[in-house]
Structure 1
Amino acid sequence: MFILSIIAQVLGYVIYACCKNISQYMAAGIFEAIGSTGYALTQQVFVADVTNLVNRGIWSTLPDSLTTIPTLYLGTIVAQDILDHSTWRWGWGMWAIVLPVAAAPLVGSMVLYQHRSPRRVRISTALGWKSEDPWWRRVYDLLWIQLDLPGAVLLLLGLSLFLIPLSLTGSGNSGAWQHNGSFIAMLVMGVVFVIAFLAWDAWFAKKPFVPYRMIRNRTVAAACLLGALDFFHYSVFTVFFTSYLQVAGHFEAGNATRIDNSLRVAFQVAGIFASLFMKYTRRSQIWVLGGVPLCVLGMGIVLYLVDMGNGKTGSEAAFVTAKSLIGIGRGFYQTAAQVSVQAVVSRQEVSVVTAVFFASMSVGGAIGTSVAGAIWRSTLPKKLEQYLPDALKPQAHTIFSSIVVAKKYQPGTAARDAIDRSYRESQRLLAIAALAALAPMLIVMFFLRNVHLDARDEEEATSETPVEKGHEDVQAGKTATATSSPAGAENGHRIEQ
């Protein structure tokens, strides 16, 4: 799956580089989305499969942290060099070369250790197939029962039809709800398919794609709700934040980008510390309880900085500090929440629960983007028409449509003061919506179990059963597994069910 994800991303980059119309660009986006999602998910599942819970936070955080922190800044330099000395096609196309080359060592490691693995289980043995079973029965059992293909299709259709109209209306086309009935139809059908999925998995599926007990589990439900609310808050505030900073805050584009990136940098750094804290405290919930209030505090400060009164906004240092608080809080709660949801399900369900956790964030982010677009498009034009001098009122739509036009008016003039005020008040509404989304997290966070990570590791080690005989018999395998320590299990002595 990791190799297939790399191939999908490479195809996306190639199509991006060669595209000549919007249809080809959208096709490239689909391949890139499939590849990047598969890449992230297989990476996290791979980490979860070879680590114990005590160390999982560290290893699940390190790959992103070690790469994201420098690239958030180095990426802007590379992008500028591409624009200055090459073409945008190579800006996409070069990654079709870089990505597979960079992934080759990890792919090679996977292939090598899979080949060296002393215990191999035939799929037919693991699934309980008999040698006399016809091929069509095996296919039916694999797709219909083991993988729950109907449930997977219903879930994919439901999420797709629910998210597509939200994404297409988004920040720049929120008025489409009034003119395009197909968006409403897709949204309704998406809800119907999600309900059908829940009914299928609850009453009809023999081995549900998302087991009902997983959805009913309060830790899983609470973690997913935390992720959805957080990403709603992030999307609803951030979509127009850099535009606000450049117009009302009078920051250069580079400074505005660095302010916005401060949250991501703080998130990655805090994730490493949270995982280290979990390793030595052996607890998860305490870091959720510490992280969520920091998110709320940081967003409250941002709300104040957006419009401080008397035409004032926060300084770069103030915005960076407030956004960093949000990033630290997110790093703490999200790292701990991900480990928690993986700890309360069986190892066979880790991939599914991780995907559900990530999907909840995507749903919250898509809804937040659409809400932000609706608020911005319905608020900023009206405020521009209200505050602009009479001679410039006819230019309100042009100013609304382009921050380049808005920035042409000199600071201190009546026109620029009116534009700045309109941007401040519009962004303040988005900040209020973001803070309102974060507030319920202060209650939801208490529903996560305080997982004892070391106890869960010992429980997994003693409950796993060998799948085939090794040098000794089955009972010897059980004894070896039961007596192995979590550290030993991490080094390869763990026997999977």
Structure 2
Amino acid sequence: MLRAIANVWSTSHMIVAYILIFIINFVQAMQQGMSFSLTPYLTSSFSLDSLTATTSIMSSLIGGIFKLPLAKILDIWGRPQGFALMVLCMLRGLIMMAGCQNVQTYAAAQVFYWVGYNGMSYTLGIFVADTSSLKNRGFMFAFISSPYIAIVWITGPMAKAFLAVDGPGWRWGYGTFTIVVFAVTFPLYALFMWNYRKAKNMGLIVNHKSNRTFLELVKYYTIEFDLAGIFLLAIGLALFLLPFSLYSYQGDGWKSSMIICMLVFGVVFLIVFALYEKFIAPKTFIPFDLLVDRTVMGACVLAAVLFVSFLQVVNGLSITKATYALVTEVSIRWTGRFKWLALYFGVPVTILGVALMANFRQPDVHIGYVVMCQIFIAFSGGTLVICEQMAVMAAASHQHLAVVLAVEAMFSSIGGAIGSTVAAAVWRGVFPKRLQRYLPEESKADWATIYRSITAQLSYPKGTATRHAIERAYGDVQKYMIAGGSSVLVLAIISVVVWRDIKVKDFKQAKGRVV
């Protein structure tokens, strides 16, 4: 597939493709930023706001793990086909969110959306990796992510316009982007298909007809996609993580037999997964020696750790990371190395920013200190994201590029799911108790409504005793979450130390048209 892209794509088509990817990411950045503001109002309308953490955990897991078979789909069926499939999933999710009437539909919509969004982003990332040399690859990744810089100032007013009294409402927020996403992705799909067919006509891509029966095809793809291993991994992670968001609904809490069984079986399935991949699987998704490579595994652990800590500390912070990724790549290209940036700048500044948030993210602290911490975390976080991607790509041959990027992305999603899990556990364990403790007597009877609905929380004017109690309860929750995020980041130091100090300038690129 790399040979076909490098030899078929013209310079003008490649330039157009990068421009279209930039536009797609700009639209996606706006949609995600706006959705972050709309989601509390959507879930509050069902009075089941606290259940959405479970939805977030499952959608993160499924969206991340699906990248494993997607990497095979791109290689076997083609980049255009995989891209179209992911766009359709994302559009289905947006349509369902626009029309959902209950939390069950919202949960299904989230799964469709995140499978589609993660898969589309992954497909575009593979295209960038295929069309760029290693020394310039980080810069190109940073370039296509740079639209996230601008949307910080756009999404707030956009969400406010949809939620205004005379506005169209949150449903049209999702409906509008359904139309816009289709409009900006179709031209790139057409360009992919044009060059795909051109490569087929030149004989660079050959589709071999199979004489297998239906059952033989099922068996073949089951082995080819390592579906048994993926199933064991998904079930194990789901059973292990879900109890952290469900325990509060059980009368006995953590002592509930259902919670204990889920935790035990979750660990068992994960152990079985590891043993199956090592000793039984006829075809593993990734060569085992590559998976245990210290640079690849260290980068994957770093990806998980970052998403655990970021999701617990500052929701949506990944939006600002891209602001500084271009500066990072210039440094990598100049020195030819990336480990020093991660070890001596990225990790320590991230820990500093997160640790300071424990003191500053409180209701009575000036917002300027919070902004300062976010700048620290964004600057260092953007550095670490680029460095971890460079690490997995430098440690693997181009043959395994799609696979290692899928595994790195899967670890990010698993980290996000763990972050959501811990955040949900802290929220349910701390917020309702502190709310009942702090609320004035005239509001204590309404604590359940206040707990479930952001609309109810915002209905109390700032300065009132009830609003102050709500803010104090939020502050207590944030303190626990940030403490957890800070402790997890210790693993980031170890994960970077074990990297090999690879010099990207020394790598030879395959022949063809690349950046």
Q: Same fold (TM over 0.5)?
A: yes
What percent identity do the matched residue pairs reach?
A: 30
2:334 to 275, 280, 284: 280
In the other structure, the counterpart of 1:454 is: 505
Deviation for aligned residue 1:114: 2.2
Q: Which stretch of the first structure deviates more once superposed, 389-398 or 370-379?
A: 389-398
In the other structure, the counterpart of 1:238 is: 314
Q: Which stretch of the first structure deviates more once superposed, 23-32 or 385-394?
A: 385-394
In the other structure, the counterpart of 1:70 is: 150
Structure-to-structure mapping, 1:251-266, within 5 angstroms: 263-266=317-320
- Superposed CA RMSD: 3.4
Structure 1's 281 and 437: CA in aligned 2 closer, same or farther, altered over 3 A?
same
Give the whole-Å Cα distance in 2 for the aligned partners of 1:348 and 1:111. Answer: 22
Give the whole-Å Cα distance in 2 for the aligned partners of 1:23 and 1:391. Answer: 34
Structure-to-structure mapping, 1:18-417, within 5 angstroms: 18-66=99-147, 68-83=148-163, 84-117=166-199, 118=202, 120-124=204-208, 139=217, 142-165=220-243, 169=246, 178=254, 181-182=257-258, 184-238=260-314, 263-289=317-343, 290-306=345-361, 313-384=364-435, 386=437
Give the whole-Å Cα distance in 2 for the aligned partners of 1:418 and 1:278. Answer: 48
Q: Radius of gyration: which is bigger?
A: 1
Letter in 2 for 1:220: V
Give the whole-Å Cα distance in 1 for the aligned partners of 2:467 and 2:156. Answer: 29
Letter in 1 for 2:490: A
> C-alpha deviations, 1:239-262, integer Å up to 9, x for none?
6xxxxxxxxxxxxxxxxxxxxx6x
Give the whole-Å Cα distance in 2 for the aligned partners of 1:36 and 1:443. Answer: 31
Q: Secondary structure at the match of 1:440?
A: helix
Instruction: Tell me: higher relative CO, structure 1 or 2? Use CA pairs within 8 A at least 6 residues apart.
Output: 2
In the other structure, the counterpart of 1:471 is: none
Letter in 1 for 2:182: P
Give the whole-Å Cα distance in 1 for the aligned partners of 2:458 and 2:103. Answer: 29
Structure 1's 45 and 411: CA in aligned 2 closer, same or farther, altered over 3 A?
closer
Deviation for aligned residue 1:383: 4.0
Deviation for aligned residue 1:350: 1.9
Any conservation in 2 of the 1:177–1:184 contact (CA below 8 Å)? no
Give the whole-Å Cα distance in 1 for the aligned partners of 2:154 and 2:384. Answer: 27
Mind listing any 5+ residue stretches in structure 1 that lack a counterpart? 240-260, 462-480, 482-487, 492-497
Q: Secondary structure at the match of 1:274?
A: helix
Deviation for aligned residue 1:217: 0.8
Deviation for aligned residue 1:284: 1.6
Q: TM-score, length-normalised on structure 1?
A: 0.75
Deviation for aligned residue 1:422: 4.5
Structure 1's 85 and 305: CA in aligned 2 closer, same or farther, altered over 3 A?
closer
> C-alpha deviations, 1:217-275, integer Å up to 9, x for none?
11121112112222221222336xxxxxxxxxxxxxxxxxxxxx6x4454111112112
Letter in 2 for 1:23: Q
> C-alpha deviations, 1:373-417, integer Å up to 9, x for none?
332333344445555667776666666555666667776777766
Number of positions where the alignment pairs a residue of Structure 1 with one of Structure 2: 429
Q: TM-score, length-normalised on structure 2?
A: 0.73
Structure 1's 75 and 174: CA in aligned 2 closer, same or farther, altered over 3 A?
farther
Deviation for aligned residue 1:454: 2.0
Deviation for aligned residue 1:16: 2.7
Letter in 2 for 1:8: C
Q: Secondary structure at the match of 1:94?
A: helix
In the other structure, the counterpart of 1:433 is: 484
Q: Secondary structure at the match of 1:449?
A: coil
Structure 1's 198 and 210: CA in aligned 2 closer, same or farther, altered over 3 A?
farther
Give the whole-Å Cα distance in 1 for the aligned partners of 2:284 and 2:415. Answer: 24
Give the whole-Å Cα distance in 2 for the aligned partners of 1:30 and 1:320. Answer: 32
Any conservation in 2 of the 1:271–1:332 contact (CA below 8 Å)? yes
Deviation for aligned residue 1:338: 0.9
Give the whole-Å Cα distance in 2 for the aligned partners of 1:59 and 1:176. Answer: 52
Structure 1's 390 and 95: CA in aligned 2 closer, same or farther, altered over 3 A?
closer
> C-alpha deviations, 1:315-371, integer Å up to 9, x for none?
222211111110111100111111211221222322222122122222222222222
Q: Secondary structure at the match of 1:330?
A: helix
Give the whole-Å Cα distance in 2 for the aligned partners of 1:23 and 1:34. Answer: 17
Deviation for aligned residue 1:425: 3.6
Give the whole-Å Cα distance in 1 for the aligned partners of 2:103 and 2:96. Answer: 11
Structure 1's 173 and 271: CA in aligned 2 closer, same or farther, altered over 3 A?
farther
Give the whole-Å Cα distance in 1 for the aligned partners of 2:283 and 2:212. Answer: 21
Deviation for aligned residue 1:90: 2.6
Structure 1's 164 and 442: CA in aligned 2 closer, same or farther, altered over 3 A?
same
